[in-house]
Chains A and B, each alone.
Chain A
Amino acid sequence: MIRVILPPHLRTLAHVGGEVMLEVDGPITQRSVLDVLEASYPMLRGTIRDHVTQQRRAFLRFFACEEDLSHQPPDAPLPDAVASGKEPFIVIGAIAGG
């Protein structure tokens, strides 16, 4: 299972409390995780990535394993610790956004 932590406003939108657990098939990448996240929680479409370009919204960042992965290619593999569920994939509001 892939663990995803969302910022509070998106948790409210998605009606989830703590972490989101996702079953993701195939390679574990930003794109595959966010695809499953948006499929599971359609109300999050457009809130993390642009609907059309699929670009990360400027005020959001992607962290994992104490690294900023925001500028990694969307199809690059996420760290093994994320793929194994040991560490969460964190979607976080940039400090400028809050």
Chain B
Amino acid sequence: MSKVRVLVGTRKGAFILTSDGKREQWDVSGPHFAGWEIYHVKGSPADPKRIYASQTSGWFGQIIQRSDDGGKTWHQPGTPPGEPPAPGPPKAASNKFVYDASAETGKPLTTHQFYDGTQHPWEFKRVWHLEPSLTDPNMVYAGVEDAAIFLSTDGGENWKELPGLRGHGTGPKWQPGAGGMCLHTIILDPSNPRRIWIAISAAGAFRTDDGGKTWKPINRGLRSQYIPDPNAEVGHCVHHIAMNPKRPGVLFMQKHWDVMRSDDAGDNWKEVSGNLPTDFGFVIDVHAHEPETIYVVPIKSDGEHYVMDGKLRVYRSRTGGNEWEALTKGLPQKDCYVNVLRDAMAVDSLDKCGIYFGTTGGQVYASADAGDSWNPIVRDLPAVLSVEVQTLV
């Protein structure tokens, strides 16, 4: 019997929601790491019992947590078993994210644009996104703020920057979005282990074709009014990118404003906002079995980070964009003013495809019928930062 495990990161801890393949009855465990901001929790595709979590705090900094038993128990990689967990710094180097500025392998630390437009030094703040390797449970990438990508090959115990991205040369033009200057999206290509896509708010999308050594910006076709040259090579506030792993190279993007798609691995983008009521938003995802079926949650505007007209509506396109339908069954259609953040939507791979998303109001909604109808799994969690799903067979 299939099983689904939903991994939820919130402002005040992590929660794990489990159900059988019917996805009707749910068990809720948590809060794990209570009181800490959990930016992201994600399981290894190569070993579903291996789960990584990014635990952060304005007081104590960054902690990496790992579970080897599907989320029942957790430890900081490198810390001896039985050692008491956080608060407090771990014994190992699992929280050590140091930009590689060495002459041998690194790139010099430059500056980036600060909030007020002045230049500001790169400073590590937190891990936004953890992307485990498709094939090796001990290999995991981390997207961090200030924007850079790190790699661990020992299960999160030690981290090394892939400095070619930060050192690409356009760094002084990158700037923070409202959440900070974060690398929030990492997509691995199942057909080509040397190809990775990432996205940074607000720099744009980048791609490597040599395993992370060199990167190039892939923002042709994006147009953004909040940078002096709206068609610039970098500076775009990309909120999220999604790809169906069965069709590598076809990418869907929710930009600050505009929903975009690329059919050539990001080399060129075209707008597919179509009949959306607003094309501002954060999340975007793709149906597990229908690569032209995509989902977004339109948000009113960049100044009003909540859904339009008090109605929580997921929009689905079955045509890869442009033609969208509102999905409302089971979602509040009155007096609702929540947001759905960029990493807070995920899909399972059951048939029918399950869709999941979490809100800043603490609800996690699930649809077991590809979006036709929705039910809340939980209603009153802390504000949801991220949602990931593991389909367990």
Contact = CB atoms under 8 A, between A and B. Distances in A.
B346 interface: no
Interface residues of B, number: 21
A83 B339 CA distance: 41
Nearest to B201: A95
Contact of B226 (A8, A9, A58, A92): A92
Interface stretch (A26-34, A37-45, A60-68): A60-68
Given A8-B301, A63-B228, A66-B228, A95 B176 contact: yes
- The residue in B201, B230, B303 that gathers the most chain A C-beta atoms within 10 A of its C-beta is B303
Contact of B228 (A8, A58, A67): A67
A78 B339 CA distance: 39
B226 A95 contact: yes
Interface string A85-98: 00000001111111
A68 B59 CA distance: 35
B190 interface: no
A59 B303 contact: no
Nearest to A66: B229
- The residue in A70, A92, A96 that gathers the most chain B C-beta atoms within 10 A of its C-beta is A96
Contacts, number: 54
A93 B303 CA distance: 9
A9 B303 CA distance: 7
A16 B302 CA distance: 19
A7 B302 CA distance: 11
A70 B175 CA distance: 14
A59 B301 contact: no
Interface string B176-206: 1110000000000000000000000110000
Interface residues of A, number: 20
B228 A96 contact: no
Nearest to B231: A66
A76 to B, nearest CB: 16
Contacts of A15: none
Contacts of A51: none
Contacts of A94: 115-117, 175, 226
B237 interface: yes
A96 B177 CA distance: 4
Contacts of A66: 228-230
B232 to A, nearest CB: 9
Given A7-B303, A8-B303, A96-B115, 13 more contacts: A8-B301, A58-B116, A59-B116, A63-B228, A68-B228, A70-B116, A92-B226, A93-B302, A95-B201, A95-B226, A96-B177, A96-B178, A97-B178
